[in-house]
Amino acid sequence: MYISKRKILDATIPSTPLDRPVHIASLVRRIGAVLIALLLTVPPDAEAQLSSRSDPLRFIEYLRDDFTAAGPAFLTGSPLVVVGVSSAVVVTSRYDATLQDRAERYGDVELVRIVNEFGDVRTVRPFTVLVFAGSLMQPDERVQDAAFTSLEAVIMSNIVTGALKALFGRARPYQDEGAGSFEPFSGNTSFPSGHATTAFAFLAPWIMYYPGPLIYGAAGIAGGTALARLSLRFHWPSDVVAGAAIGSLTGIWLARRHLGHSGATRIRPVAGPGTVGLRVVW
């Protein structure tokens, strides 16, 4: 009896995250340690060192202001951006089945399974926390802000993606229900891709704070994660386009806000032994 390669692949695709996470996760942690070292040794410019304020209260301000502004920003976003992203998703969706079939041939490549882990929020979220904690151990405020913005972008973008997943209820490729299977609140969670959202949200702020060959090269990992989701039949191409857009736009929006705050003058209350007053920070 002849059994097609496609049938074998369908039978072995898990309905939950990959069955081989142990050694892959270990490798991700090792690579993550190297990335932390690289990110924390990015040479700050002299002006950044001189203007470093080391004021941890700003992160509370960022959270408060960002989440307050997120709703209005979402509702009043640039029409050009909205139209551009929507058009990209719609156009890509027309070729979902064709592109998906082509990507499947790489599903057994070990590198594909490795880069897939870089978009797993259960891996990336703790990693971004470690990067942020590590950034606080050195004096450059720009590195601290970049690390915090990256962490916040991962969290905020996944809130958006999680809501859209429930709303659209799209079936995943391995469920064999077709690219047009949408059933809101059915429990199906293909659209948008959470892995693509996470990978691009993590890297976008770093690109904004430290544009350069090193960071641009790291962005290739995010692209690899998006392609891995196709090869492993977890997502349709339009899923990863939407996820990448959500992650990137969230990271860019937050980075622009925080970079804009960097030069702002602020007044802080100061209280200590024998001291009560105000401190001007700029």
- Residues 100, 230: contact at Cβ < 8 Å? yes
pLDDT of residue 81: 87
pLDDT of residue 269: 55
pLDDT of residue 114: 84
Residue 124: helix, strand or coil by DSSP?
helix
From 121, 110, 126, 122, select the one nearest 33 (Cα to Cα): 126
All structural domains of the chain with their residue ranges: 5-281
From 188, 170, 180, select the one nearest 15 (Cα to Cα): 188
pLDDT of residue 6: 43
CA quadruple 173, 174, 178, 183: dihedral sign: negative
d(CA 241, CA 122): 21
Dig out the tokens for 101 from the structure: 């079939």
> What values do phi and psi take at 123, rounded to 5?
-95, -45
From 161, 160, 131, 126, select the one nearest 143 (Cα to Cα): 131
Topology classification of domain 5-281:
Vanadium-containing Chloroperoxidase; domain 1 (1.20.144)
d(CA 82, CA 64): 25
pLDDT of residue 275: 57
Residue 64: helix, strand or coil by DSSP?
helix
- Residues 233, 104: contact at Cβ < 8 Å? yes
- Residues 179, 96: contact at Cβ < 8 Å? yes
Name, in order, each residue with C-beta under 8 angstroms of 110's C-beta and a sequence gap of 6 or more: none
- Residues 17, 119: contact at Cβ < 8 Å? no
d(CA 79, CA 36): 37
DSSP single-letter state for residue 55: -
Mean pLDDT by 10 residues, the chain (282 residues): 42 44 50 52 42 69 92 81 92 95 84 82 90 92 96 96 97 94 96 95 96 87 89 94 96 95 48 53 43
Alpha helices (H) along 169-236: 194-209, 213-231
pLDDT of residue 12: 41
pLDDT of residue 271: 56
Name, in order, each residue with C-beta under 8 angstroms of 88's C-beta and a sequence gap of 6 or more: 241, 245
Peptide bond into 17 cis (omega under 30): no
Q: Is 17 left (phi over 0), alpha (psi -120 to 50) or beta?
A: beta
